[in-house]
Amino acid sequence: MQSILIIGKDKEKVRQSAKDFCDQDKISKFDIEVLETEKAVGIGEIRKLQERLFLKPFESETKAVILEAFFGMTVESQNAFLKILEEPPAHAKLMILASSLDFVLPTVFSRCNLINLDKVKQLTGEEINLNLELIVELKKGGIAKALKIAESNSKDRETALDFLENLIISIESSMGNGEIEKDKLLKILKGLQKTYTIIKTTNVNQRLALENLFLNL
């Protein structure tokens, strides 16, 4: 996926992470465009981003357009953003920088790779293995098992979020080293991240959200 959403309370750390991605992809400084705002990103900024995104790179094979959304994004601008996220030009990488996920719509979040720089939780190897085994069980199917796990981990919003965060960390920590192929793990990870955001940012029933996630892995 060409679109990356980088989250972190430390703005300079978030900016450095974006720069690191550009360095990793060997993107020349002449092919990096940064769009900064002093308020929530609106339709005007999205139109400007679209114009910059579709211009071809000067020196590198890939160009990067970095949208700083530290003051948030309006709902209208995010809806306008979806078309770009669904059909980005092959020569461009888009990075969205933000302080939190609070304002991000699930439809936008689901189309981006998430890098959360504030995630500090550490899991033991045993915890990671248990979580991966659970994912394998859910992947193999079994409605009764899925419903039971959803019920036991949805007592309240914090319980559901903590459970999903553990699964996300476990996958990120062992990508491609388990029973599930990497491309399938990425799909599962995206589903976990999407459900996490929906539960965190909406009034959805946590149990129903987890049930829907597990039954569609």
Exposed, middle or buried: residue 181 (CB in 10 Å: 0-12, 13-18, 19+)? exposed
For residue 194, the model assigns a pLDDT of 86
The per-residue pLDDT for range 172-181, each reduced to its tens digit, is 777 655 556 6
For residue 171, the model assigns a pLDDT of 83
H-state helical runs in 25-74: 43-53
Q: How confident is the model at residue 64 (pLDDT cuts 50, 70, 90)?
A: very high
Number of H helices, E strands in the chain: 9, 5
Q: What percent of the chain has pLDDT over 70?
A: 94
The per-residue pLDDT for range 8-46, each reduced to its tens digit, is 989 999 999 999 889 988 999 999 999 998 899 999 999
Q: If DSSP codes are grouped into helix, strand and coil, which group holds residue 114? A: strand
Integer-rounded Cα Rg, in Å, for the chain is 18
Spatial separation of the C-alpha atoms in residues 174 and 101, rounded to whole Å: 24
For residue 1, the model assigns a pLDDT of 47
> Whole-model pTM above 0.85?
no
Q: How confident is the model at residue 182 (pLDDT cuts 50, 70, 90)?
A: low
Kindly state the tokens that stand for 209. 């959200």
Q: Could you tell me which residues come within 8 angstroms of residue 200 by beta carbon, excluding any fewer than 6 positions away?
A: 101, 102, 157, 161
Q: What is the mean pLDDT of residues 121-132?
A: 85
For residue 178, the model assigns a pLDDT of 57
